[in-house]
């Protein structure tokens, strides 16, 4: 055991990080990537260690900002001791061998992830293990339960706490703010937390930021929900199922999203949020995360089994994911779509999908059905509720969104007459991101045509908006390379000849 003084080290790695002087490391008998326990008497951290000759002096330990989310602070005197390889490394190996894990082994893995006992190499092996031998239902229940236990659990006075989730993979698709506004206007409680974009042109949190703040503490969120019955906030500052974020950080570089882990992550957050009724949207198709209707149905059944185990009434919608939902991609373009629908207009697909899901929540809670949802939307009650929430989140619901679009604009035009037979989601996403989305709030794409539309040569297929000229140029260049919207002489009916 050693006593060291904490200094701050300015490195953003996505992980908590400790840097030790090589002399201290030698005295502790530890090598790079070994684990230590660090304690200041009131709080403790488990950290993976890097070693330095000069960056950190003997007698001190460097911690990066992620560490200071704990009660360990700069200049603290801390005790350091090396700790063993955690138990769960053995359980990950067991899972890799294809054996079923006991409940306790599942729980231990989640606890070790939560305590940062696993290095990034071990996290990679964990994600790989779940990908290669997915959780069975028994394991899944234990994983979900422990993911809930290791974080904050919300309690509400109302019985009618509802939630909505989309497993994602379809650009645009900004149905959440519309659904929240409708069901909240109908009297349901929907404390909605959303994510920011990782690889998409915008997440719901990025889009809502066009109008208002989304970054609130737990107490502030409780206050907003108390006032309006709902919220649209960023989930990152809320300590629900915190292991999920850590697992996602390991999944992202591998673009592995094992089904069992996906289900566990979604359901743990919904349980922690206190939802009693839930609708889950599962877009399917070759461009999404779920290839076929058959796969989507299998996934839906698993979601419903976990929901039932934890006393949540849950319905899943299996929806087409063969093109973006709505016209906009990027924060402001998507915000424009939302406001149009709340004002009783299109885009039709965004309107219809939002009504479908809102209707299911009203039906589950016996507060109405799809028709009720449509009345609430068309009567302006949803818009009114939307504005109320935006104001409660320190925002301005009356912004001129057109003026917020990036100043640099390009139009991508049809090179021939015909029908639109294919719209490539992933390519449009890449183009939007090159244009600056989601960081540049007014950047992205506005589609002018969708699947099966007739076009003439020279018609605009989509517009690109950017805040900086070089980003527009790069986005346009990629559009020309990809031609992400395909035009053919006839509607494409025959898919494959065998």
Contact 460, 333 (CB under 8 A): no
**Least distance from a second copy to the Cβ atom of residue 31, Å:** 8
Nearer to a second copy, 22 or 297 (CB): 22
Nearer to a second copy, 258 or 328 (CB): 258
CA distance 265 to 14: 19
Contact 373, 182 (CB under 8 A): yes
Contact code string over 280-309 relative to a second copy, x by CB under 8 A: ------------------------------
User: Under the criterion CB under 8 A, does residue 434 sit at the interface with a second copy?
Assistant: yes
What's the maximum distance between 2 C-alpha atoms anywhere in the chain? 75
Active-site residue, 348 included: no
User: Under the criterion CB under 8 A, does residue 109 sit at the interface with a second copy?
Assistant: no
User: Under the criterion CB under 8 A, does residue 127 sit at the interface with a second copy?
Assistant: yes
Nearer to a second copy, 245 or 459 (CB): 245
Nearer to a second copy, 149 or 468 (CB): 468
Nearer to a second copy, 24 or 349 (CB): 24
Rounded alpha-carbon distances, angstroms, from residue 156 to 2, 99, 215, 274:
46, 39, 21, 7
Tokens of 102: 């006991």
N- to C-terminal Cα separation, the chain: 69
When binding is defined by CB under 8 A, the residue of 12, 493, 495, 498 that contacts a second copy is 12
User: Under the criterion CB under 8 A, does residue 329 sit at the interface with a second copy?
Assistant: no
Q: Which stretch binds a second copy (CB under 8 A): 3-11, 160-168, 351-359, 391-399?
A: 3-11
Alpha-helical (H) ranges within 76-203 are 87-96, 103-114, 120-132, 137-149, 176-185
**Least distance from a second copy to the Cβ atom of residue 122, Å:** 6
Contact 276, 160 (CB under 8 A): yes
Neighbours of 318 (CB within 10 A): 18
**What letter would DSSP give residue 237?**
G
Instruction: Kindly provide the b/e burial profile for residues 24-46, where b requires at least 16 CB atoms within 10 angstroms of the residue's own CB.
Output: bbeebebeeebbbbbbbeeebbb
List the one residue out of 11, 20, 119 whose CA is nearest residue 65. 11
When binding is defined by CB under 8 A, the residue of 9, 279, 355, 455 that contacts a second copy is 9
- DSSP 3-state of 325: strand
Nearer to a second copy, 27 or 356 (CB): 27
Pairing mode, strands 444-447 and 313-320: unpaired
Question: Out of 257, 337, 349, 440, which one is annotated catalytic?
Answer: 257
H or E, element range at 446 = strand 444-447
**Least distance from a second copy to the Cβ atom of residue 124, Å:** 3
Nearer to a second copy, 470 or 491 (CB): 470
Applying CB under 8 A, the site for a second copy has a residue count of 49
Tokens of 419: 């029908």
User: Under the criterion CB under 8 A, does residue 490 sit at the interface with a second copy?
Assistant: no
User: Under the criterion CB under 8 A, does residue 322 sit at the interface with a second copy?
Assistant: no
Which residues between 42 and 101 bind a second copy (CB under 8 A)? 50-55, 85, 89, 92-93, 96-98
CA distance 288 to 283: 7
User: Under the criterion CB under 8 A, does residue 13 sit at the interface with a second copy?
Assistant: yes
The phi and psi torsions of 74 (rounded to 5 degrees) equal: -55, 145
CA distance 95 to 135: 9
Which residues between 221 and 260 bind a second copy (CB under 8 A)? 249-250, 252-256
**Least distance from a second copy to the Cβ atom of residue 48, Å:** 9
**Least distance from a second copy to the Cβ atom of residue 7, Å:** 12
| Residues belonging to the active site | 257
Q: Which residues bind a second copy (CB under 8 A)?
A: 9-14, 19, 22, 26, 29, 31-33, 50-55, 85, 89, 92-93, 96-98, 119-125, 127-129, 131-133, 249-250, 252-256, 433-434, 439
């Amino acid at each position: 055991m050693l006593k060291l003084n904490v200094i701050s080290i300015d490195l953003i790695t996505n992980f908590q990080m400790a840097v030790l002087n090589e002399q201290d490391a030698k005295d502790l008998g530890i090598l790079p990537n070994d684990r230590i326990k660090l304690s200041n008497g009131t709080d403790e951290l488990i950290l993976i260690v890097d070693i330095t000759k000069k960056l950190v002096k003997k007698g001190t330990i460097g911690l990066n900002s992620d560490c200071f989310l704990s009660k360990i602070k700069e200049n603290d005197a801390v005790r350091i001791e090396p700790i063993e390889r955690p138990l769960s490394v053995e359980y990950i190996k067991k899972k890799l061998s294809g054996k079923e894990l006991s409940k306790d082994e599942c729980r231990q893995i989640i606890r070790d992830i939560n305590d940062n006992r696993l290095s990034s190499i071990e996290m990679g092996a964990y994600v790989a293990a779940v990908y290669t031998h997915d959780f069975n239902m028994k394991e899944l229940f234990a994983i979900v339960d422990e993911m809930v236990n290791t974080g904050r659990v919300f309690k509400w006075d109302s019985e009618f706490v509802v939630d909505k989730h989309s497993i994602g993979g379809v650009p645009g698709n900004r149905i959440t703010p519309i659904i929240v506004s409708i069901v909240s206007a109908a009297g349901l409680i929907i404390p909605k937390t959303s994510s920011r974009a990782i690889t998409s042109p915008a997440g719901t949190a990025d889009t809502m930021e066009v109008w208002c703040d989304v970054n609130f503490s737990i107490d502030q969120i409780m206050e907003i929900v108390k006032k309006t019955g709902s919220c649209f906030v960023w989930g990152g500052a809320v300590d629900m199922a915190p292991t999920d974020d850590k697992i996602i950080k390991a999944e992202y570089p591998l673009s592995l999203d094992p089904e069992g882990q996906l289900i566990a992550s979604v359901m743990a957050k919904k349980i922690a949020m206190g939802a009693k009724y839930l609708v889950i949207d599962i877009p399917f198709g070759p461009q999404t995360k779920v290839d076929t209707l058959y796969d989507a149905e299998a996934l839906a059944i698993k979601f419903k089994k976990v929901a039932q185990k934890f006393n949540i009434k849950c319905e899943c919608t299996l929806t087409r994911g063969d093109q973006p939902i709505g016209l906009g991609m990027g924060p402001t373009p998507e915000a424009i779509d939302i406001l149009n629908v709340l004002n009783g207009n299109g885009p039709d697909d965004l309107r219809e999908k939002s009504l479908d899901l809102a209707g299911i929540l009203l039906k589950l809670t016996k507060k109405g059905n799809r028709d009720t949802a449509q009345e609430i939307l068309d009567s302006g009650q949803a818009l009114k509720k939307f504005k109320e929430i935006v104001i409660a989140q320190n925002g301005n619901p009356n912004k001129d969104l057109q003026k917020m679009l990036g100043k640099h604009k390009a139009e991508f035009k049809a090179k021939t007459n015909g029908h639109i037979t294919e719209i490539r989601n992933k390519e449009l996403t890449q183009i939007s991101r090159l244009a600056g989305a989601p960081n540049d709030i007014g950047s992205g794409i506005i589609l002018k045509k969708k699947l099966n539309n007739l076009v003439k040569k020279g018609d605009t297929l989509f517009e690109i908006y950017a805040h900086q000229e070089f980003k527009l140029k790069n986005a346009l260049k990629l559009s020309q390379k990809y031609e992400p919207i395909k035009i053919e002489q006839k509607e494409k009916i025959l898919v494959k000849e065998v």
